[in-house]
Amino acid sequence: MATDTGCLYGLTFVTHFYGARKSILAPQLGTSELMAGQVVEGTRAAIEVAAKEPGCQLIPVVSLCVAETAGLPEEMLPKKIGDAEVVLVRVPAYAIHSHPEAKDVALAALLKRLGNATAPKEKKTLALLGEVFPADPLAIDNLLRQMGVEATITLPGRAIDDLRRAGHVGALAPLHPFYKETTAVFRSWSIPVVGGAPVGISGSYAWLKAVGSLLELDPKLVNDVAEAERARAEAMLKAQPLSGRIFVTGYEGTELAYARLLVEAGAEVPYISTSIGQDPLVLPDEMWLRARGTKEIVYRKSLEDDVAALDKYPPDFVLGTTPFCAIAKERGIPAMYFTNQLASRPFFLSTGMAATLGFINQTMKGHERYQWMQSFFEGEAADA
């Protein structure tokens, strides 16, 4: 990682916190090294040390704000050292504004270098694109195989071979709407892209049909599987419908899809905010939501946007970031941290729908407890 010591420390900490259990090799880039113009030399030296690891196949070089500002020309780095591919991933915060979009940049860089687009196409194979709960790709794969799909690859994944194989899959299915560079790489390989995602009743049904059509699967088989899945989702929704006004205000770039599921289940979602920028990939969900009562969708949001919405559309429940949830709770509104609570359970197809809606229904029942907490602390403040 080419960056200064402060960013290196912070990112290493966060990476360990999220369980990667891997440390990061980095050149020392302090004031004296930057003044001496040693960014390239230091990074090259780090690459050489990395390449000495036995069996090394891949050395990603993550270039952050300091190295990007100082200048790290790609042509000054080796493309390959021994058997290892050296892939430069440029993710300065001043240019890549959110961490979902940095996932896209990293994956696109890896695919551009490693994707094998010259091999014969595996026509009945689908690449699923998105960092999702581990049970989700298994559920999706299980259903797709019933339709005649021979294999699925999930990206980003654990195996370098998956990156190579991605170059000759039959179609790409982005499960999240912020993979614009990665999608462009697949389009450059003439691989068709499935629109939408298997979310909720209507979304899942349309997605399964679209996959069947793009991979030229048996239409009757596809229809049977899609109808059966729709029936399961409808039965599930009937068993646990939602009501009330909910805010969806995370920073994962998946907020619109979650809002869509909640609206389909019967909730009112007047306000959604996300860290990602507006993009054509988000547009279908945005139009769907606006047609069903969503008043405001804020891209590249700030805390101030979210707080202003609390006054404008007082909600019954907030799915939000930690600081925003704290503000909602102070007002006696039940609130949950979007990332940890929702990303830690299945979401896609009827099985994901059941897990997500079950959790939200249960949490919304806690409204009276939050009100009691608020009055308790107001009483404490008055006594003090």
Partner 1 sequence: MSNSIPLGTIAQEAKPCQLHPQSMCPAFGSLRVLTRIEDRIPLWPRIRVACMASLL
Interaction of residue 156 with partner 1, rule CB under 8 A? yes
Shortest Cβ 81–partner 1 spacing (Å) = 11
Shortest Cβ 175–partner 1 spacing (Å) = 14
Helix (H, G, I), strand (E, B) or coil at 171: strand
Pairing status of strand 296-298 against strand 58-63: unpaired
Kindly indicate which of the ranges 118-126, 151-159, 202-210, 215-223 contains the residues binding partner 1, using the contact rule CB under 8 A. Answer: 151-159
Tell me the number of residues near partner 1 by CB under 8 A.
74
Shortest Cβ 249–partner 1 spacing (Å) = 8
Task: Pick the closer one to partner 1 by CB: 58 or 117.
Answer: 58
Q: Are 285 and 177 in contact (CB under 8 A)?
A: yes
- The residues in 218-247 that bind partner 1, with binding defined as CB under 8 A, are none
Interaction of residue 333 with partner 1, rule CB under 8 A? no
Shortest Cβ 151–partner 1 spacing (Å) = 19
Helix (H, G, I), strand (E, B) or coil at 169: strand
Interaction of residue 8 with partner 1, rule CB under 8 A? yes
Nearest Cα neighbor of 62 from 86, 79, 85, 78 is 86
**Binding residue for partner 1 (CB under 8 A) from 34, 50, 151, 228?**
50
Shortest Cβ 28–partner 1 spacing (Å) = 4
Cα 240 to Cα 76: distance, rounded to the nearest angstrom: 59
Pairing status of strand 245-249 against strand 268-273: parallel
Task: Pick the closer one to partner 1 by CB: 125 or 275.
Answer: 275
Shortest Cβ 109–partner 1 spacing (Å) = 9
Task: Pick the closer one to partner 1 by CB: 233 or 256.
Answer: 256
Q: Does residue 156 have a cis peptide bond before it, meaning omega lies within 30 degrees of 0?
A: yes
**Binding residue for partner 1 (CB under 8 A) from 37, 41, 184, 234?**
41
Cα 210 to Cα 197: distance, rounded to the nearest angstrom: 10
Q: Per-residue x/- marks for partner 1, 111-150, CB under 8 A?
A: --------------------x-------------------
**Binding residue for partner 1 (CB under 8 A) from 34, 58, 135, 151?**
58
Shortest Cβ 332–partner 1 spacing (Å) = 21
Contacts of 194 (CB under 8 A, 6+ apart): 126, 171, 172, 173, 174, 207, 210, 211, 214
Kindly indicate which of the ranges 203-211, 216-224, 233-241, 295-303 contains the residues binding partner 1, using the contact rule CB under 8 A. Answer: 295-303
Q: Report CA-CA distances (Å) from 146 to 129, 141, 220, 229.
A: 20, 9, 12, 11
Please write down the long-range contacts of 115-120, taking CB distance under 8 Å and 24 or more positions apart.
115/163, 115/164, 115/166, 115/167, 115/185, 115/189, 116/164, 116/165, 116/167, 116/168, 117/167, 117/168, 117/189, 118/167, 118/168, 119/167, 119/168, 120/168
- The residues in 77-106 that bind partner 1, with binding defined as CB under 8 A, are 84, 89, 91, 93, 96-106
